[in-house]
Amino acid sequence: MTYLTMVLGVIALLILVTSLIYTFKIGKLVSERKAKYDTQLNEKVQDHPYSRNPVFLAYMIAAVLSLAYIFYLAFTISW
């Protein structure tokens, strides 16, 4: 592995860990707010709760980009 690949891998790992921790904190905050304020959700969000959630979209985009980078490295690095 080259030095640049290692640095990019560490940066990607830090971003993923940070976003996971942030997601848990936001989820806790939302559950605390929901206990106080229970509002009606938009019908479009109710129909597609996962595709309308920006956190899930961010994780899906990160997973696709990570896989694309892994496949790129697999086909370009000569062993």
pLDDT tens readout for residues 24-79: 888 887 777 666 666 676 777 667 666 667 888 888 899 999 999 999 998 898 76
pLDDT score of 6: 86
Structure tokens at 35: 């206990």
Threshold 0.85, pTM exceeds = no
Structure tokens at 1: 């592995």
* Terminal alpha carbon distance of the chain: 10
